[in-house]
Structure 1
Amino acid sequence: MKVTIPTALTLLRIASIPVLVVVFFLPYNWTHLAAAAIFTLGALTDWLDGWVARRFGMYSAFGAFLDPVADKLAVAVALVLIVQRHPTMFMAVLAAIIIGREITISALREWMAEIGQKARVRVAGIGKIKTIVQMVALVMLLYYQPIGPLPTLLVGEGLLAVAAALTLWSGFAYLRAAWPAMAASDDDPTHSP
């Protein structure tokens, strides 16, 4: 298997996740800045690997599989860390919504691919907006210290709430798009569990 530049960037993003966890728990004043920087670099490599793949035609089946896995791992780990630092019901509910949706939609995409209906659940515009809002929220919550007059924690919480609402909206859109195939499979004994 040939490892392309986009795949190498994705592997680097996955390798940065345990580094993020270790840095997050280090007993120093600068760790919140370092954790936010590591997560930001990961988000930038996510954009960069996609750009390189499209620009230079460096697609691979392994890269196509690995990229969404890296994204979901990074987001889930960041949410767990943030809830650990801010253990409120509000933050836990937002994290549960986002992680729950990711698991649900991943399973839905896999099932739709198995029945030849993958095109029905492609990434929509609302999903891209959700991702941007979510990434900015996670960076702010990992940093969490005020930046001058900007209450970073409060703004991050607000953005995460918006991201959770967009998560529910986009998740509903995916389920609605998949519903005809799901309903049809009820009548087809070859698709029974």
Structure 2
Amino acid sequence: MKLGNSVATVLAAALAVGLLAGPASAEKVRYGDPADTTGSLTDIRAVTPDHRTTRLVVKVGFTDLRRRSTGGPAGLTIAIDTRADRAGAEYRLSTGLQAGMDYQLMRVRHGKVVGEPLTCPHQVRLDYAADRLTLATARTCIGSPESIRIGVKMRDDWDASHPMVDWLGAPRSYTAWLVSS
């Protein structure tokens, strides 16, 4: 009987470690961003890209994400760079940050959108209670790259004559390269 319980305990522990560790080939990093756009409720506070074996998940945290805006709209752009040998991103997600706004994932070349919005598996979820946006896309949707880096930009048009823009890090910057296989 003791031997059976010991085996069950070892198997349960191994299963728990496997579930908590996740895939060995995924890379996930959290980037904090200071409160540098203090006039905007949608100031970027943190970005966590998670480059998994089958999909890319990007979570963006905000100061105070709201379902409705009493002023102008706010939007977010996530640039996804998949090729170190080319300048700039190859894909771009653009989305509004209020309820009911649409989003599009597009191919980009030389900073310009190329073709129609992509219809491959991807989605954006706005969680107003947690002040967070989550982008999830199949890696096949972005060419199944071994490594990616992202750039994130928020634009708040509450005062259209003085739009507020917040980048993760410096303007037009990207995260470090994240590897997956």
TM band (smaller chain): under 0.3
The alignment's TM-score, normalised by the length of structure 1, stands at 0.24
The alignment's TM-score, normalised by the length of structure 2, stands at 0.25
Which of 1 and 2 has greater Rg?
2
Structure number having the greater helix percentage:
1
